[in-house]
């Protein structure tokens, strides 16, 4: 190819490409702004069940320890009474599961299922099958 043709060829982003890219960034930003607080709350709940289990005691004591830890982090999705306690031999395992509905815009919402456990196997106990 001729050198002058290479120098005259323009490369760059068109206006419609720029608008499309900005729209995509805006949509991703809306999702991120809605989802990040839900995942921060989920992380606080996971941390609180580990701390409640480490505190030991009876089930009621662990529920109260969980409530203390979550009140500091302003967690509203799960309370100590919502936790599922199971016995794995002599050790008590704590599980939780909940849904979080995040409004995006208008009548459009995003539904996220969260679950966690202290069980090393990673199996989340259901409230029906747990020995309380």
| Residue 132 resides in a domain | no
User: Is position 35 within any domain?
Assistant: yes
* Region for residue 57 given its phi and psi (left: phi exceeds 0; alpha: psi -120 to 50; beta: otherwise): left
Residue 80 lies in a domain: yes
| Tokens encoding 107 | 């009548």
Domain count, the chain: 1
Within a domain: 29:
yes
46-83 pLDDT, tens digit per residue, is: 999 999 999 888 899 999 999 999 998 889 899 999 99
> What is d(CA 88, CA 117) in angstroms, rounded to the nearest whole number?
12
Residue 6 token pair: 């290479």
pLDDT at 129 over 80: no
131 within domain boundaries: no
The pLDDT of residue 8 is 66
Task: Select, from the ranges 76-80, 119-123, 124-128, the one with the highest average predicted confidence (pLDDT).
Answer: 76-80
The two tokens of residue 1 are 């190819």
Among 23-32, 47-56, 121-130, the range scoring the smallest mean pLDDT is 121-130
**68 assigned to some structural domain:** yes
Domain range for 84: 14-117
* Residue 2's pLDDT band (cuts 50, 70, 90): low
* Residue 1 pLDDT exceeds 60: no
According to the model, what pLDDT value does residue 3 have? 63
Measured in residues, the chain has a length of: 132
- Is pTM beyond 0.85? Reply is no
Predicted confidence band of residue 30 (pLDDT cuts 50, 70, 90): confident
Q: Kindly state whether residue 79 falls inside one of the protein's structural domains.
A: yes
Asked whether residue 113 is domain-assigned, the answer is yes
């Amino acid at each position: 190819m001729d050198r002058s043709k290479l120098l005259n060829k323009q490369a760059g982003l068109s206006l419609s490409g720029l608008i499309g890219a900005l729209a995509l960034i805006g949509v991703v930003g809306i999702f991120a702004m809605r989802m990040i607080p839900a995942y921060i709350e989920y992380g606080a709940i996971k941390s609180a069940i580990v701390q409640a289990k480490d505190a030991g005691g009876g089930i009621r004591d662990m529920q109260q320890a969980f409530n203390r830890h979550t009140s500091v982090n302003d967690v509203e999705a799960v309370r100590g009474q919502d936790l599922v306690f199971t016995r794995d031999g002599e050790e008590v395992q704590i599980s939780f599961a909940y849904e979080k509905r995040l409004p995006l815009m208008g009548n459009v919402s995003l539904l996220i299922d969260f679950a966690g456990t202290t069980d090393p196997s990673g199996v989340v106990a259901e409230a029906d099958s747990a020995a309380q």
